[in-house]
Structure 1
């Protein structure tokens, strides 16, 4: 029986405690990996949405341009429009056709990249069917429900990487307690039965074998210099300090990420509102220019110019929608809330 050194903790008990802590730490490592994986999947999904929205937009503009070209050709044949207008209209059709082909290629690429996160019930890769389209209803829920201070507190306490550091500190604390035992003197109490090959608790021919068949003893040892003990204990304390510094650095890193993505979300929301208003203005200007053109007071060059501005703002609006929704998930990822 250990009375001093090894009474409260020894190598076996320390190994058992560290194994339990390591199991919890491994679970947090798994959660952190899942958190990262979900963010990658979300980003691929909304990049796929952006490519799909761009393609649908170019299809709409190309359809309008084709109809306009057909009408202008008829008007030219009747002498109402000039040949320059037909050339301008045809150039716009060709331009939109090129943009549509490029957007189709981007959409196919985005779809194949999204299949990296899809599999069937048998665990085989699942190829996204061509007729599948993104669900755009999530665009309406791009605001983060929590305030910034709440997100920072969650990131500092409940993020899987923070919990991983906490469990690592717990494991090092067990190691520190074990190393501290090296400073204590060894004091062991012993009691041994001097019997072998028979049951000492029973009598044979009225002779009790338990009588006078035991011994007691005491082991007592004290290290003289404790050099090894001091070195191991100091090394463990340095590990603990390094881990605490790493924990502090990780908290600051996560808080900075949360703040950055949170502010980006608010900024993208404001920009999206501005671009939406700008798009409405360009739509009004384009309608007015089309009325002038139908009355013979404008030209296809001005129509193409107005339509080009509208196309740019529509592209910007889709890009901002994608960035806005991704920034929301990035904020939740930085706070460890995607699990």
Structure 2
């Protein structure tokens, strides 16, 4: 049993995967867990649905520029001003296709047929009717920027923004899932170390009992051996609970493609290793910081938010202008009594005496842009420091691991020496148990630091946008 725990602690310290882990079916690796989380986690699937909602919103805003058809037919009898007391009547029929474009121009094309004693503002047409095309062109207010076009552009920006919202949520969910995974692996290994340590105490208690029966040891040694067994049993119960809790936490992130929760992972699905650490040079930290500024979604999201506010500001500035619309309408009158080519042109101008609503919107947009600029400065600084901090954590855990490994080596050496003294009758069972507890505590400390090291490597991947 002593050999068994030595082997267990050896692969723990060296960070290699045991043959036991290799022989187990469906061992959960980090990449496998993260792939399942990304594909099936309800939060991420819900965020993907938000992309479809944003696309539907764009379609809705495009609907403001849908073409339409207008059909109208009118009959009117009236007292003619040219022949008072005499009833006059006319028919008016009109069919029009119309569309407003994002530039603000409104197009109309159609056919008008007016017959009888036509009343103003209508005019007579040939018996076939007048074919016409008409355009209303804004020259100041509404030219290339208007409420409908801005709403469409903002919806398109929001559609892209939602994709970056998904990326930001993805990073957070994968980081939490990876952290839960490493805690689970650590808890499983910890439980097995404690379990092996208990078996060692049980075997020793049996050996002590045999020695007492043979008259080689005092009966008080049996009390000490049994006490140590009970202490280690309590430690095992605690370790089992930690492993169970970590498995339940990891199960929160494990779902199948049908949207159903997967089973809670069992201990035989856990690898018996954690990733080895590495060093991070200053030049690599600088490269990771540049990569983070290019790939972190929150910075791009701020840029898109500024684009949305800038459109509000541009619209408000445009609405401060006078309204000046040019109308052009060529037509062709066909049929008996038709006059052939005709033309209609006009201009309309509306000058606002006050523009306080537009002034207020423009001012609010400017203030919002200033705030977003400050947020961007803070976000850049925060991201740079997050990368630097994560890299420092990687370096620090590596140094701590070196010291912890040395403590473990010395604890093993003391344990072996104490056990040898005990066999020679120069030590007590209490001291042997104490040395074994120190060795296990040192091993668990190594395991704890290796978990922190794995977590820091995962965090570095996340904050640099590589996850």
- Work out whether the TM-score is over 0.5: yes
Counterpart-to-counterpart distance in 1, 2:392 and 2:442: 23
Which digits, 9 at most, give the CA deviation of each residue in 1:177-201, with x for residues without a partner?
21221233332211235xxxxxx53
Give the counterpart of 2:165 among 18, 29, 37: 29
- 2:323 and 2:333 map into 1 onto residues whose CA distance is 35
- TM score, norm. by length of structure 1: 0.90
**Using the alignment, how far apart are the partners of 1:167 and 1:305 within structure 2?**
62
Residue of structure 1 in register with 2:54 after alignment: none
Cα distance, 1:137–1:299 mapped onto 2, change above 3 Å: closer
Pair 1:283–1:273, CA change in 2 (3 A): same
Give 1:107 shift.
Answer: 1.0
Q: For 2:347, what is the secondary structure of its paired residue?
A: strand
C-alpha displacement of 1:149:
1.6
Deviation at 1:11, TM superposition (A): 1.7
Q: Counting strand residues as a fraction of each chain, which structure ranks higher?
A: 2
**What corresponds to 2:73 in structure 1?**
none
Alpha-carbon distance, 1:266 to partner = 1.3
Distance 2:444 2:388 in 1: 27
Secondary structure class of the residue paired with 1:210: strand
For 1:258-277, what aligned pairs fall within 5 Å after superposition? 258-277=387-406
Which residue matches 1:127? Answer: 263
How far the C-alpha of 1:73 sits from its partner, in A, is 2.0
CA distance in structure 2 between the partners assigned to 1:16 and 1:32 by the alignment: 25
Residue in structure 2 matching 1:290, options 406, 419, 422: 419
Return the alpha-carbon distance in structure 2 between the equivalents of residues 172 and 136 of structure 1: 52
Between the aligned partners of 1:9 and 1:141, the Cα distance in structure 2 is 56
1:155 touches 1:251 (CA, 8 Å); kept in 2? no
Contact 1:46–1:326 (8 Å) recurs in 2: yes
Q: Which residue of 2 aligns with 1:175?
A: 312
Secondary structure of the equivalent of 2:261? coil
What is residue 116 of structure 2 aligned with on the other side? none
Deviations 1:285-333 (A, max 9, x none): 1111111111111111111221121122112111111111112212222
The C-alpha deviation readout for 1:224-260, integer Å capped at 9, x for no partner, is 3433332221111011111111222222233333222
Cα pair distance change 1:236/1:121, threshold 3 Å = closer
- What pairs up with 1:97-136 in 2 under 5 angstroms? 97-136=233-272
Distance of 1:227 and 1:115 partners within structure 2: 57
Please list, as runs of the form range in 1=range in 2, the aligned pairs for 1:1-339 lying within 5 A after superposition. 1-140=137-276, 147-192=284-329, 201=332, 203-205=334-336, 207-211=338-342, 214-338=343-467
- Distance verdict in 2 for CA 1:143–1:326, change over 3 Å: farther
SS at match of 1:262: helix
The structure with higher relative contact order (CA 8 Å, sep 6+) is 1
Between stretches 151-160 and 127-136, larger displacement belongs to 127-136
Q: Does the 8 Å CA contact 1:115/1:128 hold for their aligned counterparts?
A: yes
Q: Are the equivalent residues in 1 in contact too, given 2:181–2:250 (CA < 8 A)?
A: yes
Looking at CA atoms only, which structure, 1 or 2, has the larger radius of gyration?
Answer: 2
- 1:61–1:137: structure 2 CA closer, same or farther, 3 Å change rule? closer
2:139 match: secondary structure: coil
State the TM-score, normalizing by the size of structure 2: 0.66
Residue 185 to residue 202, structure 1, CA distance change in 2 (3 Å): closer
- For structure 2, the 5+ residue unaligned runs are 1-136
Hey, what's the Cα distance between the residues in 2 that align with 1:258 and 1:107?
A: 31
Name whichever structure is richer in helix by fraction. 1
How far residue 202 of structure 1 moved from its aligned partner, in angstroms, is: 5.8
Structure 1 Cα separation of the partners of residues 270 and 181 of structure 2: 8
Q: What is the CA-CA distance between 1:147 and the residue it aligns to?
A: 2.2
What CA distance in whole angstroms lies between the structure 2 residues aligned with 1:226 and 1:207? 47
SS in 2 for 1:139: coil
Write the distance in 1 (CA, Å) between the matches of 2:298 and 2:272: 32
RMSD of aligned C-alpha atoms? 2.1
For structure 1, the residue ranges without an aligned partner over 5 or more in a row are: 194-199
Moved over 6 A (4+): none
Residue pair 2:188, 2:267 contacting (<8 A) in 1 also: no
Inter-partner Cα distance in structure 1 for 2:174 and 2:354: 55
Q: CA deviation at 1:81?
A: 2.1
